[in-house]
Structure 1
Amino acid sequence: MFLNPSKFLFLMTLISGTLVSISSNSWMGAWMGLEINLLSFVPLMTNSNNLMATEASLKYFLTQALASSTLLFSVILLSQNNFFAFFFPESDCIINLMINSSLLLKMGAAPFHFWFPGVMEGLNWLNSFLLMTWQKIAPFMLISYCWEKNMIFFIVIMSVMVGSFGGLNQTSLRKLMAYSSINHIGWMLAALIVGENLFFIYFTLYSILSLSIIFLFSSFKMFHLNQMFSLSNSSLIKFCLMISLLSLGGLPPFLGFLPKWIVIQSLVESNNVFLISIMVTMTLITLYFYLRITYSSFMMANSELKWNFNLNQNNLNYYMLILSIFSIAGLFLITLMFNIF
């Protein structure tokens, strides 16, 4: 997962493009930041030795270019809004819908998600982690400036449904994580409706839990579901993977349940019971394919391959235990919040 100097430079440009986008005080500046982010992420994705990575980078570039052109066209219309409002009184609503649609396409929310699993399938785990987490920051921040309530509610429902049902028939771990990310996009949009502070809490915990899972997948070069049964003879690693996945799915009392609990409570208080009922039901389906990944960990006796991986097993156990501490800490945090409230 180490980067050469050129890749590191592109990574720094990627970070700076996101910062330019979220700190800009005009839509044109935000668009420029998104373009810097796009043009620095494509070289990170490409790999001359892997045709799938090249294909994924091309898919990503074409999709993001379409979203960027739609956003730029919407910004131009917004600058001439006084002229269009004279002929079309509903122009404000139409322009907001176009801006929202372009940003949702950039982050991969359903029903604009069709490019996301295919692009994830061609990436390595480091780029997959960036696509699942960092690449969503700028679109989320920009969509918080002009979101349409009814449209966002529809996107939340679509995202949790597509993220749940889409992962049921997948055997690729990268596609499973992609559909899991789509499901979490729905929850993060719901958190964004409640408030930006809750969104930051949810996004931070989601990034930490995703990092712990992707670190293990990357360390063992695991890309498909059948490789889970030959993971390792280390019970600690299996336990850490099980805890991290169940926490990512939002199973109480792990830490991943904490932001979902706050979202549920906030939406119930605002009388959005129908929305939260769909979200909770669909999340139970995502827990099913998380349990399918950790199936071998739950088995009391299962066949294991005995070859040795070229890894420092002690250091790997140590890192995995540190990352999983965040999930296990949810037991104490949620208990403490129950006592306070």
Structure 2
Amino acid sequence: MLMNSSKLMFLTFMILSTMMVYSSSNFLMSWMSMEINLISFLPLITKSKKMKDQPMKYFIIQSLSSSMMLLSMVMKLKIETPINFEIFMMISLMMKMGLIPFHLWILSFMEKMTWNNCLIMNTLQKMSPTLMIVQMISFKMIIIPMIMSLLIAPIAMIKMNSIKKIIAYSSIYNSPWMISSLYISKSLFLIFFSIYLILNFMMMMKLKTQNIMFVNQITEKNLLTKTNLMINLFSISGMPPMLGFFPKWMILNKINEISVSMSMSMLFSTLVSTFIYLKMISLILLNQTTKKKFLKTKNFNEMEILINMTGLTWFLMFKPN
């Protein structure tokens, strides 16, 4: 991924600000780090000609959520009020992450972004709000919004044709998995996030190189590209024995001890998302076109398939305690 010095500088600031959130024990310092992250991300998304007014929309939503976060802390420290400050904190962080019911902005926003920015939005931008949710909000309070995101997002994907909207909904129903893993342990969160980052990187780079924006465009590609995308989608949904199944199996095993309703919602979201991907892939594999197909990136395709298949090795080697 080629980039000029300004892009590299802003990306460095984003990574450093995320590390500052994870290393600070002060709320004000964490809030400032999240604002630095926001200011660093805005120049990256304004480079695209398609964005137009989308950066301003993103800035307004993030600023509103940050203001609500500060208001909740003021209410906690200075004002005696019957309103629980955790509600305002939870709403502000849900807006930042794009969880249901505050998810509509992220669909239109991601649809007009480049694939590189979509990758950053799906991975790096979710790390800071995830940590803040775990530190500031109890699991019992956040469980209902997480269940809503797990149930509604896969169902909303059924009639989607835009790949970017499908990925946006995929990130929405994967966010509760990410939050739950951090509630369980930091090491489990790092395993889940690392694998989620690898899978998203492989899929988005493939969609970028093949210039695929809609589902029906995949039918024109060669069989190896279709198979590669199919395995990537199954791995993200958590289908065994793919790479993405291993961390979800560990999270599900632990979360079942904390909340049965949460584990059932996770299973339902995984089943529905796998059904949607099966429905999409069946149309892709069964449709044949008369166009001549060239295998330009055969070695890279094979490498991606092998990476996904390492999930079987992980499954045989490790087991959750």
TM bracket (short chain) = over 0.9
SS across alignment from 1:54: coil
**Corresponding position: 1:237 with 2:237:** no
Cα offset for 1:162?
2.2
- Paired amino acid for 2:205: F
Residues 88-121 of structure 1 show CA distances to partners (whole Å, capped at 9, x for unaligned) of 3x56xx1122222211211111222121111111
What is the match of residue 141 of structure 2? 151
* Aligned positions, number: 321
| Contact 1:67-1:105 within 8 A present in 2 as well | yes
What is the match of residue 261 of structure 1? 249
What is the match of residue 324 of structure 1? 305
Cα offset for 1:247?
0.8
Cα offset for 1:324?
3.2
**Corresponding position: 1:142 with 2:140:** no
Cα offset for 1:253?
1.4
Q: Which runs of 5+ in 1 are unaligned?
A: none
Cα offset for 1:296?
5.2
Cα offset for 1:189?
2.1
Cα offset for 1:297?
5.4
Residues 31-77 of structure 1 show CA distances to partners (whole Å, capped at 9, x for unaligned) of 11111111111111113632xx1232222111111111111222333
Alignment counterpart, residue 207 of structure 1, candidates 186, 197, 204:
197
| Contact 1:74-1:98 within 8 A present in 2 as well | yes
Given the two structures, how large is their TM-score scaled by the length of structure 2? 0.92
**Corresponding position: 1:62 with 2:43:** no
- Paired amino acid for 2:289: S
- Paired amino acid for 1:14: M
What is the match of residue 86 of structure 2? 96
CA 297–26 in structure 1, closer or farther in 2 if over 3 Å, else same? same
What is the match of residue 291 of structure 2? 305
| Contact 1:47-1:54 within 8 A present in 2 as well | no
| Contact 2:65-2:92 within 8 A present in 1 as well | yes
CA distance in 1, matches of 2:145, 2:130: 13
**Corresponding position: 1:285 with 2:253:** no
Residues 274-307 of structure 1 show CA distances to partners (whole Å, capped at 9, x for unaligned) of 32122211221111222244335543x7215327
CA distance in 1, matches of 2:117, 2:265: 31
| Contact 1:245-1:290 within 8 A present in 2 as well | yes
| Contact 1:254-1:327 within 8 A present in 2 as well | yes
| Contact 2:134-2:179 within 8 A present in 1 as well | no
Q: Which runs of 5+ in 2 are unaligned?
A: none
The range that moved more, 172-181 or 325-334, is 325-334
What is the match of residue 97 of structure 2? 107
Question: If you compute each CA radius of gyration, which structure gives the higher value, 1 or 2?
Answer: 1
- Paired amino acid for 1:204: S
CA 180–328 in structure 1, closer or farther in 2 if over 3 Å, else same? same
CA RMSD between the two structures: 2.1
CA distance in 2, matches of 1:261, 1:218: 30
| Contact 2:48-2:113 within 8 A present in 1 as well | no
